[in-house]
């Protein structure tokens, strides 16, 4: 009899199983470490959850993992395994398991009940991890940041009290000047709200602007964490196709009752198109007509290579409904958790009130340190250096892809940013998960494009396997080694 | 003809007007500084918004303030005023006012549309500001914190990537040990979620556990920002009276369909009662029966004077539905924005997913610095010192109140925490706003208790004027001077 589990135990499952087992035995995951949830790993690898669950079940049945009710799988203490040296026990105390109470969640909570999709960075064991969003620690301006933080530590307040929910006055003044110099964006400091990374900006906008059932237009493919935050607010998310000129704005005209559009006009994520002048005007005219707000996410505006900087939408006429969203997650570090919203003035008071209600204000230390760093010029010096480093990585990646893979792949989105999209000419989209799992087993961290598309992507996505390759965390030699390993894997597989 | 404005122009309005004018002329507010919104100032002073608006209008008509559409009032450039030296102009660029677009908000947003209630700390001009929640900068362990932050700055990650939404592994391990030592609370590190201050813990709980229309039981009087966060989630907030033993739990039994109760069992905020053993058992039995969750806010568990530490609810049998909420806003600084939730294990995954969705994770720098400070023992040494400093402030306040005001006042909540509640025997509750405004005009920052009660407080609140006096930001001599000035004011007013 063929059971459901047997059916799931195909090539992809086996590769996931083998990659995880190798990582456990190699020490990437230590005893009692939690593994990613099946949901998170499935999303990361672009395969079905059943496939991942089958691999976990095999590891559980072999005693490599253990599982307790309501908790993700953990790596077992491996004493019992033949040939495996006993590893030191974790230091966590183990209280007796309590009886699980029935869990009662809100609609918002129920939609999240499977747990976070976060996956820890691979600290070893991979030739190259092309995860998008990670940055190289070597690029971080450690000394300038240390000086700025210490300057902030030395500053004495007369008393310790909650700060302005909108953010520190120094940082907002520094950002006002920076945005004018770097992006041609003019605003008043009291249009700026400091947030804990752009994710909090999206969440605040979702809560303040959207009721359950409201419609939000997003780019397809697009940023998954934006789609998730709007969906969690109960909004109906309407994916709009993108092409080489960005969002196909003509599709907006036919939609009723859209309250918000989320766009990445300077560098469409992930495909890389720049929203054309005509479409910018169409988008703003539509926003004016419909009263819909537009969130302009300028997530990587600092990184442009062969092209001129694109002024933000926010700077154009009729941009009264535009919320500009910036971040330092791509320029300094995603771990600092700082971003900023530039608000239309009438929305400032309600966003500041929402920020106060959700967490009072962003931490003062990072805000003051960043203000010092911007005001001293160190921030922009760092960005220039970082642009050069990432330019070298980009050149290395494009050269390696051309030399090693040539006509096997098509590349998009290489003009700007910290990633490219690579389409595989000889792999159709149903083989994407298999590609990711084979690469993982071969020590290459690749990430599928499929999760960035909505469910109904028929007609506007290529029928090939695609990946989003981030390069900002890798050194040049690693990039070449990773691409060479990928080329070998493809040759072995397909030829 | 007597207009509405004339009627509002009573003694309280005049005192607010005079206090603000003195602060503008004295430089507390500089040119182009924003004043608090009328809503915020009315809440702070415990007077009606009409009263504050009338004072602002007078200042506007006299040219001390200026106002632009959709923005709070600002201090005018005072060139035109006879006898007032022109002050330097602000550095903000002034773009032409844009036409205001119609503002369309969600239900959540509409409830916040009046702007934040935040009021900046008074940096000068007051004899003593008894605002609760502020701490003395002199108590801050600047050197230990600087060392811990610098240790965190020196730590090198292999790459810069988003951290675990639940928080840094080091901090959670350190908190696990600290909570056991300091509060007798046993938990696993993966029950702990690091949040941006307790406010974010409340907001996450409201979103994950409450749908619009769900009922939440809160203490009356109680913490205003908790009531606001539950109300903003669309919940029906049910105030339950408190007495000397804390929440009157017998009132819970008669309520249907309560999904959540918010309590401060170790030190009821603001009245100071400790939840009795019998009521703790009643609360947990009710939670077990009804399936309602309980948020235990241990906001100032570090500060106890003449009484034994009270073990948290979370440590008792049948506490499976208890979410324990802690903060460092009272022990280190409210500006650091760090707090923690200790979750029932089945709720951990959904709270971690919610935290990831709302802002990925709390900033790594403060988390690692706090972990270092706890692990090195410096955090607990600081708490012991801080407990002694605040003990001296408390003694000074109680002694001054006794010496200067004697039978004029009744005091509650002095056993623990960083504030006391003072009731005025000869002032009834309708005179509370007048007291606050008179005190402000005399240079004393006092804060009314009325906003801490729900609308229907009949039968359980004293029919006298009351104030919440925070003392943690003041030095001992200031406390005596403030109370002496208050006594003089009362004598001049009432005798």
CA gyration radius, chain B: 24
Q: Is the pLDDT of residue A456 over 50?
A: yes
Query: For position B26, what pLDDT does the model report?
Result: 64
Mean pLDDT, to the nearest integer, of A278-298?
Answer: 96
Q: Is the pLDDT of residue B98 over 90?
A: no
- Cβ–Cβ gap A160/B137 under 8 Å: yes
> Could you tell me if B475 lies within 8 Å of chain A, comparing CB atoms?
no
pLDDT cut 70: percent of chain A above it: 89
**Nearest of A418, A437, A419, A417 to residue A427 by alpha carbon:** A437
CA distances from B386 to A167, B138, B340, B378, B473 (A): 28, 10, 21, 12, 11
Query: For position A36, what pLDDT does the model report?
Result: 81
> Could you tell me if B359 lies within 8 Å of chain A, comparing CB atoms?
yes
Mean pLDDT, to the nearest integer, of A395-417?
Answer: 94
Looking at per-residue pLDDT, the higher value among B380 and B51 belongs to: B380
Strands B409-412 and B159-160: unpaired
Query: For position B70, what pLDDT does the model report?
Result: 53
Q: Is the pLDDT of residue B4 over 70?
A: no
Q: Angle A328-B101-B99 (CA atoms, 0-180°, nearest 5)?
A: 100
> What mean pLDDT is reported for chain B?
88
Mean pLDDT, to the nearest integer, of A51-80?
Answer: 70
Looking at per-residue pLDDT, the higher value among A266 and A97 belongs to: A266
Q: What is the pTM of this model?
A: 0.87
Say which residue the tokens 């990445």 belong to. A264
Query: For position B68, what pLDDT does the model report?
Result: 63
What confidence tier does A101 reach under pLDDT thresholds 50, 70, 90?
A: low
Q: What is the pLDDT of residues B377-435, one digit of tens each?
A: 999 999 999 999 999 999 999 999 999 999 999 999 888 889 999 999 999 999 999 99
> Could you tell me if A135 lies within 8 Å of chain B, comparing CB atoms?
yes
Q: What is the pLDDT of residues B272-296, one digit of tens each?
A: 999 999 999 999 999 999 999 999 9
- Cβ–Cβ gap B92/A189 under 8 Å: yes
pLDDT cut 90: percent of chain B above it: 68
Query: For position B457, what pLDDT does the model report?
Result: 75
What confidence tier does A106 reach under pLDDT thresholds 50, 70, 90?
A: very high
**Nearest of B251, B285, B283 to residue B265 by alpha carbon:** B283
- Among A164-168, A360-364, B416-420, where is mean pLDDT lowest? B416-420
Chain A, residues 265-324, CB within 8 A of chain B, namely: 291, 293, 320-321
Q: How far B492 CA lies from chain A's nearest CA (Å)?
A: 31
Query: For position B338, what pLDDT does the model report?
Result: 98
Mean pLDDT, to the nearest integer, of A346-359?
Answer: 96
Q: Which of B160, B165, B337 sits opposite A334 (nearest CB)?
A: B160
Looking at per-residue pLDDT, the higher value among B33 and A5 belongs to: B33
CA distances from B104 to A260, A365, B108, B390 (A): 11, 34, 11, 47
Q: How far B11 CA lies from chain A's nearest CA (Å)?
A: 30
Q: What is the pLDDT of residues B329-370, one digit of tens each?
A: 999 999 999 999 999 999 999 999 999 999 999 999 999 999
What confidence tier does A325 reach under pLDDT thresholds 50, 70, 90?
A: very high
- Cβ–Cβ gap B473/A162 under 8 Å: no
CA A489 to chain centre: 27
Q: Which of A107, A228, A291 sits opposite B104 (nearest CB)?
A: A291
Query: For position B71, what pLDDT does the model report?
Result: 60
- Among A113-122, A304-313, A378-387, A456-465, where is mean pLDDT lowest? A304-313
Q: What is the pLDDT of residues B56-86, one digit of tens each?
A: 887 776 667 877 655 667 776 543 333 333 3
Chain A, residues 192-251, CB within 8 A of chain B, namely: 195-197, 199-200, 203, 207-211, 214, 225, 228-229, 232
Q: How far B375 CA lies from chain A's nearest CA (Å)?
A: 14
Looking at per-residue pLDDT, the higher value among A278 and A75 belongs to: A278
Q: Which of B162, B173, B350 sits opposite A118 (nearest CB)?
A: B162
Query: For position B102, what pLDDT does the model report?
Result: 73
The interface predicted TM-score (ipTM) is 0.86
**Residue of chain A whose Cα is closest to the Cα of B287:** A101
Q: Is the pLDDT of residue B36 over 90?
A: no
What confidence tier does A123 reach under pLDDT thresholds 50, 70, 90?
A: low
- Cβ–Cβ gap B133/A161 under 8 Å: yes
**Alpha helix ranges (H) inside B155-301:** 169-183, 197-209, 224-232, 250-253, 277-290
First vs last C-alpha separation in chain A? 34
- Cβ–Cβ gap A176/B113 under 8 Å: no
Omega cis (within 30) before B270: yes
Query: Do B120 and A356 contact (CB within 8 A), yes or no?
Result: no
Query: For position A200, what pLDDT does the model report?
Result: 98
């Amino acid at each position: 009899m063929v059971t459901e589990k047997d059916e799931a135990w195909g090539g992809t499952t086996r590769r996931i199983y083998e990659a995880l087992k190798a990582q456990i035995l190699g020490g990437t995951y230590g005893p009692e470490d939690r593994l990613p949830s099946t949901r998170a790993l499935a999303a990361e690898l672009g395969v079905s959850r059943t496939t991942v669950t089958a691999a976990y079940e095999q590891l559980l049945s072999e005693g490599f993992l253990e599982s307790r009710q309501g908790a993700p799988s953990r790596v077992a203490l491996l004493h019992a395994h033949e040939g495996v040296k006993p590893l030191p026990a974790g230091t966590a105390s183990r209280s007796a398991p309590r009886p699980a109470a029935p869990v009662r969640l809100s609609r918002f909570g129920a939609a999240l009940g499977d747990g976070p999709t976060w996956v820890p960075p691979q600290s070893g064991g991979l030739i190259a991890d092309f995860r998008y969003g990670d940055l190289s620690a070597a690029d971080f301006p450690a000394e300038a940041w240390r000086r700025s933080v210490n300057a902030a530590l030395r500053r004495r307040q007369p008393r310790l009290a909650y700060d302005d929910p909108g953010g520190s006055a120094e940082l907002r003044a520094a950002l006002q000047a920076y945005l004018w110099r770097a992006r041609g964006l003019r605003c008043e400091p009291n249009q700026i709200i400091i947030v804990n990374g752009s994710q909090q900006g999206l969440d605040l906008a979702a809560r303040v602007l959207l009721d359950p059932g409201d419609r939000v237009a997003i780019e397809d493919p697009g940023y998954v964490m934006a789609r998730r935050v709007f969906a969690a607010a109960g909004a109906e998310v309407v994916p709009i196709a993108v092409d080489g000129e960005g969002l196909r704005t003509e599709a907006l005209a036919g939609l009723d009752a859209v309250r918000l559009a989320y766009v990445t006009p300077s560098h469409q994520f992930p495909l890389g198109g720049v929203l054309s002048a005509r479409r910018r005007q169409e988008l703003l005219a539509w926003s004016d007509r419909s009263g819909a707000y537009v969130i302009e996410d300028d997530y990587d505006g600092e990184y442009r290579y062969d092209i001129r900087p694109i002024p933000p939408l926010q700077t154009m006429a009729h941009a009264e409904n535009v919320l500009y969203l910036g971040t330092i997650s791509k320029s300094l570090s995603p771990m600092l958790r700082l971003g900023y919203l530039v608000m239309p003035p009438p929305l400032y008071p309600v966003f500041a009130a929402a920020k106060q209600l959700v967490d009072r204000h962003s931490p003062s230390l990072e805000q003051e340190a960043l203000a010092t760093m911007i005001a001293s010029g160190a921030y922009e010096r760092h960005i220039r250096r970082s642009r050069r480093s990432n330019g070298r990585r980009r050149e290395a990646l494009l050269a390696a892809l051309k030399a090693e893979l040539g006509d096997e792949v098509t590349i998009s989105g290489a003009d700007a940013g910290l990633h490219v999209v690579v389409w595989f000419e000889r792999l159709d989209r149903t083989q994407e998960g298999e590609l990711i799992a084979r690469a993982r087993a071969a020590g290459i961290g690749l990430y599928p494009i499929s999760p960035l598309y909505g469910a109904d992507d028929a007609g506007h996505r290529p029928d090939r396997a695609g990946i989003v390759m981030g390069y900002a965390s890798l050194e040049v030699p690693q990039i070449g080694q990773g691409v060479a390993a990928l080329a070998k894997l493809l040759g072995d597989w397909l030829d």
